[in-house]
Amino acid sequence: MLKKVNWILNAIIGAFVGVFIGHGMYVFLDFKTHPDLYAMQSAPWYTSILVVGMETAVVLVIAVIIKLIIRKKLKQR
């Protein structure tokens, strides 16, 4: 059971990192293609990358903490 939860956490970590990288690449390429659209905004062009990065960091920290707890329980067996 704990190995299955560990596998699911690995999938979640991989998915969130992939979404963060993909979102960052999309925003950067869109900024390079349409810089005037981003010039009209009051926030810098990379603000959405920072927000998604913070959300990803929170999920990763929670997942790593759960993985450490699982690893500790697996070693106790």
Across the range 22-42, mean pLDDT stands at 95
What is the model's pTM?
0.85
The pLDDT, as a whole number, for residue 12 is 96
Comparing C-alpha atoms, which of 76, 72, 64 is closest to residue 10?
Answer: 64
Torsion from C-alpha of 55, 57, 62, 65, nearest 10 degrees: 180
Higher pLDDT, 67 or 77: 67
Band of residue 74 on the pLDDT scale cut at 50, 70, 90: confident
Query: Where along the chain do its domains lie?
Result: 2-76
Band of residue 2 on the pLDDT scale cut at 50, 70, 90: confident
